[in-house]
Amino acid sequence: MRQPPSELAARLESVRARIAAAAEKARRDPREVTLVAVTKYAGGEQIRELLSLGVADLGENRVQQLLQRAAQINEYHQRRLAARQESVPAKIRWHMIGHLQRNKVRQALPVVSMIHGVDSLRLAETLEAECDRTGRPMQVMLQVNASEEPQKHGVAVGAAVHLAEMIAGMKHLQFTGLMTMAKYGATESEARFVFGRTREIFEELRYHKIGGPHLRHLSMGMSDDFEWAIQEGATIVRIGSAIFGKPAVTEDDDDEPNQD
């Protein structure tokens, strides 16, 4: 007899079903929405199980933890592939979803597939210079502070198009889209306002052909608001606690002091 699904498998299944339902409600194809499983509060065992459930996109908001995690998980992944375990994805993509400090760019780049939180010209230039050195392109997204919270990372709404244009003009950076976050505890209308505003900027970029064929992603929506984000056009949702459970200790989630 088949074993009943684990708690993790059941939560993943529920998240996938909610993504599909939200997409259908918005008359969108659910396959347009990529789930990035945010592993910052997950245990190694949980991440390994998630791989066997076919999740290929993993996200971390801190470079140090991303590097540690990626070293362990990528090695496990290679072993599963060598053992021809069919259910594991062919490739893992690590997403850097938090604020990236310029002094960590060199360490992060070899491991990550996509950087969601580019929010300054200086950071983009550092990334470009490093990609030039290694000869490897990198997909980047511009983080927009569409909720206009002073403590939040991200470029101001009014500066987004200009900065996007500069990043899109850089030789090694593939300007892939925009990332945003609604306010913590936002109501539906507050969250949808923030997501809708970010989508409007995205449409403006598309209209002006900024980013060209690479421009295709809106990274928005977390455990508490991903269905609203999908309604507003999200193509990537970043989900942690709805998959892994709420963290036991509520940790201060802010960045380390900024060194740049």
* Positions in the binding site for ligand PLP (CB under 6 A): 38, 40, 61, 97-98, 222-224, 238-242
> In terms of Cα–Cα distance, which of 251, 230, 247, 233 is closest to 15?
230
Least Å from the CB of residue 177 to ligand PLP: 15
Least Å from the CB of residue 35 to ligand PLP: 11
Q: Supply angle C-alpha 208, 213, 216, rounded to 5.
A: 85
Least Å from the CB of residue 80 to ligand PLP: 25
User: Among positive and negative, which fits the CA dihedral 115, 95, 150, 218?
Assistant: positive
Of the pair 141, 205, the CB lying nearest ligand PLP is at 141
Phi, psi angles (nearest 5°) of residue 117: -110, 40
Q: What is the total residue count of the chain? A: 260
Least Å from the CB of residue 14 to ligand PLP: 13
Least Å from the CB of residue 2 to ligand PLP: 29
Least Å from the CB of residue 66 to ligand PLP: 12
Pairing of strands 34-38, 57-60: parallel
Say if CB 55 and CB 37 are below 8 A apart: yes
Of the pair 116, 197, the CB lying nearest ligand PLP is at 116
Of the pair 178, 210, the CB lying nearest ligand PLP is at 178
Say if CB 35 and CB 19 are below 8 A apart: yes
Of the pair 80, 111, the CB lying nearest ligand PLP is at 111
Spell 149-185 as b/e; 16+ CB within 10 A means b: eeebbbbebeebeebbeebbebebbbbbbbbbbbbee
Least Å from the CB of residue 226 to ligand PLP: 8
Q: Which helix (H) or strand (E) holds 115?
A: strand 114-118
> In terms of Cα–Cα distance, which of 237, 245, 254, 186 is closest to 11?
245
Of the pair 56, 97, the CB lying nearest ligand PLP is at 97
Which residues have CB under 8 Å from 201's CB, separation 6+?
144, 146, 157, 160, 161, 164, 178
Of the pair 180, 231, the CB lying nearest ligand PLP is at 180
Residue nearest to ligand PLP (CB): 240
Of the pair 126, 219, the CB lying nearest ligand PLP is at 219
